[in-house]
Structure 1
Amino acid sequence: MTDGFQAIDIIFFAVVAVFLVLRLRSVLGRRTGTEREPPRDWQAPPETVPDNVIDLAQARKPAVEPLPEGPLAPGTAAIRSVDPSFSLDNFLLGARAAFEMIVEAFAAGDKQGLRPLLADAVFQSFAAAIDERDRAGQTLTTELMGIRKVEPVEVRLDGSVAAVTVRFVSEQINVLKDGGGKVIDGDPQRMTDVTDEWTFRRDTRSKDPNWHLAATRSPDEAR
């Protein structure tokens, strides 16, 4: 009897083993000799540009639009004389994206995210404000509800440095809270219109295609 049961056990486990092998082959597949090897000249995809770097000069795409009329024309023409790819329309698209990223990063206290977007002096100012907020145990929440206007105010070329000042009119909810969560400035239920004028600069002789925020002001400040 014992020998009979042992024989049955052996047959049972053999059937199970065959079943498992068949299942593995159906799931994992097997080489048939027709699989293609990776090409020998295959290379990893090029590194992508970090999300927090804005090439404001989408502006470096070939410029096809005519020169703007009025006071912006001389400065735009001057920049194109040293950088024919400069496009004011494409620049403004990049400036809008940069505005959103900078406003959100400043509210979040993200100095690492701000660093590649700001000129040194502006970064130091923003970083100091973030550090002061942290020391006081305060938190700033900014909801950018919409951007109603993005318009160029000034375009000029200073030597080899191109500078474009842009006026942003946005709708924001800004709330500053103390360490206990008490609101000390702003209203979470009130949306306000905020107008900023930001100046972006780029050295046209540099290989770096990115523009950096070099100055900020409100429209009523002396120019």
Structure 2
Amino acid sequence: MNGGFEYLDIVFLAVIAGFIGFRLWSVLGQRTGEEQSRDPFKRPVPAPEERAPLAPRVPADAGAAAVSGVNLTEIRLADRSFEAEQFIAGARFAYEMIVHAFAKGDEEALKPLVAPDVLAGFHKAIADRTAAGHDFEHNLVKLKGATIEKGVMKGRTAEVTVRFVAEGIMVTRDAAGAVIDGHPNAVREMIDVWTFARDTRSRDPNWLLVATSAGA
């Protein structure tokens, strides 16, 4: 008789355990992918298509036309992640940052953007104007266009040359504040041909400015 009660007790406990297990599964087991983390310091990882791009999006006036007619096959084979339009967007962004940093004499801002020998050239120009007591202003009014002129592989290093066309105001003043070059109200067109490089074996996605020249 007692054995019968013990058997019923076991069945009853099993039913309760099963019910509790079902309730836990209904709360924790049915994940839809939309649950928020309960850790206030842990931010959810966005889906791949929602991740922010490594470079700014391509502006409306810097589309596929900026890279048409240039053979970039070698670079694409060496770096499967290379996208010409996205590269152009990043190059435009880098151009604006470098121009602004050079005008301000901000070498710390230049360091992660340019190669050591280019930085050395910028350093000399900044040091020379500082020693002369000159103040240089370069206000970039508009970056009209950026076009890839060529792309080559040198070993495992990819090099892409970009032609920038911009409008800006450049003024140099002496220690007394008198204008010795340029005009504070004159907007002039500027053409720069810059070459960017990146080691395709590196995990670092950033490109460095390795050469500059004035375009015609």
Q: TM-score, normalised by structure 1?
A: 0.68
Question: What's the counterpart of residue 6 of structure 2?
Answer: none
Name the CA distance, whole Å, in 1 between partners of 2:107 and 2:177: 23
Q: Percent identity?
A: 41
| Aligned-partner SS, 1:181 | coil
Name the CA distance, whole Å, in 2 between partners of 1:114 and 1:145: 20
Kept in 1: contact 2:56–2:93 (CA 8 A): no
Is 1:115 the counterpart of 2:111? The answer is yes
Name the CA distance, whole Å, in 2 between partners of 1:108 and 1:42: 37
1:57 shift after superposition: 9.2
1:44 shift after superposition: 7.9
Name the CA distance, whole Å, in 2 between partners of 1:204 and 1:164: 12
- Change in 2 beyond 3 A, CA 1:139/1:42: same
Is 1:218 the counterpart of 2:208? The answer is no
Is 1:198 the counterpart of 2:194? The answer is yes
Question: What's the counterpart of residue 166 of structure 1?
Answer: 162
- Change in 2 beyond 3 A, CA 1:103/1:45: farther
1:218 shift after superposition: 1.7
Kept in 1: contact 2:146–2:162 (CA 8 A): yes
RMSD after superposition: 2.5
1:211 shift after superposition: 0.2
Q: For residues 77-113 of structure 1, give each alpha carbon's deviation from its aligned partner in whole angstroms, at most 9, with x where no partner exists.
A: 1111121110011000000000000001100000000
- Change in 2 beyond 3 A, CA 1:205/1:173: same
Is 1:78 the counterpart of 2:74? The answer is yes
Query: Structure 1: which 5+ runs fail to align?
Result: 1-37, 47-54, 60-64
Q: TM-score, normalised by structure 2?
A: 0.70
Query: Structure 2: which 5+ runs fail to align?
Result: 1-36, 46-53, 59-63
Question: What's the counterpart of residue 22 of structure 2?
Answer: none
Is 1:106 the counterpart of 2:110? The answer is no
Q: For residues 157-208 of structure 1, give each alpha carbon's deviation from its aligned partner in whole angstroms, at most 9, with x where no partner exists.
A: 1110000000001001000011111111101121110000000000001121
Displaced runs of 4 or more, over 2 A = 38-46, 55-59
Name the CA distance, whole Å, in 2 between partners of 1:142 and 1:219: 18
Question: What's the counterpart of residue 49 of structure 1?
Answer: none
Question: What's the counterpart of residue 50 of structure 2?
Answer: none
Kept in 2: contact 1:57–1:87 (CA 8 A): no
Question: What's the counterpart of residue 179 of structure 2?
Answer: 183
